[in-house]
Amino acid sequence: MLDSRFVIRRARSALRCWDFRRKRYLLTEKDRPRCRWLAGSPLTEMARASKAVEHLAAEELRERLEQSNTAKQFGFTLREAERGHVVLLMHVDKRHKQVHGVVHGGVLAALADTAGGLATYMACPRGTRVATIEMKINYLESVEEGVVRADARVVRLGAHIAVVDCDMRDDHRLVGKALMTYFVGPFSKRAKKSSR
């Protein structure tokens, strides 16, 4: 068992263990082959458990997406899901287009917002609730056909606020960029007003 002077962190898909006394990381994925003494250690077991939990969370995310009315209506599909990172796909068809024959900006905004919310959900403990506070989006190119890929990454996760960056690409171009802020945590239950 690791004692309290160690903190386990995830950084760029590498599991790291920070030693506060020595002021350095004890293990990175790159060092793993050289650190045979760690085989079977709590750190190695935590890495395995973390991947298993991440896989379960990704499956839960897939189910949530299938139940989402927005995702069903627009046809969003989950391509990748890992801690703090989600990729959604949308195959462009007639229902996504506005009167000029290109994908409506609101549809791209919904795609970015959905991807960002799911990425935030993946970065938090399971069961945490996420709600959009703010969204800023730049439309860089019009999209007429093909597949739009929304790649959302959590930039910063605080106690109650998360910031997410999302790139939207078609087959070969960056078509939009969004920056979103989410509230993270439990929602207070409001008392219902009594009718008189």
pLDDT in tens, 80-116: 888 899 999 999 999 999 899 999 999 999 999 999 9
What's CA 147's distance to the chain center, in Å?
A: 20
Name the token pair of 11: 């950084």
Q: How confident is the model at residue 44 (pLDDT cuts 50, 70, 90)?
A: very low
Q: φ and ψ at 81, to 5 degrees?
A: -150, 125
Query: What pLDDT is stored for residue 125 in this prediction?
Result: 81
What's CA 27's distance to the chain center, in Å?
A: 25
Cα-only R_g, the chain:
20
Domains of the chain, with CATH numbers?
75-184 (3.10.129.10)
How much is the average pLDDT of 36-49?
Answer: 43
Query: What pLDDT is stored for residue 124 in this prediction?
Result: 86
Q: H helices of the chain, where?
A: 42-67, 69-74, 105-123
Query: What pLDDT is stored for residue 72 in this prediction?
Result: 84
pLDDT tens digits, 115-160: 999 999 888 887 788 999 999 999 999 999 999 999 999 999 998 9
User: What DSSP state is assigned to residue 97?
Assistant: B
Name the token pair of 61: 């995310």
Query: What pLDDT is stored for residue 7 in this prediction?
Result: 42
Q: How many CB atoms lie within 10 A of CB 68?
A: 15
- In this predicted structure, the answer to whether residue 55 has a pLDDT above a threshold of 50 is yes
Instruction: Kindly tell me the sign of the dihedral angle through the C-alpha atoms of 72, 76, 78, 82.
Output: negative
What's CA 79's distance to the chain center, in Å?
A: 12
Q: Is 135 left (phi over 0), alpha (psi -120 to 50) or beta?
A: beta
Residue 148 and residue 101: Cα distance in Å, rounded? 15
Name the token pair of 7: 């903190």
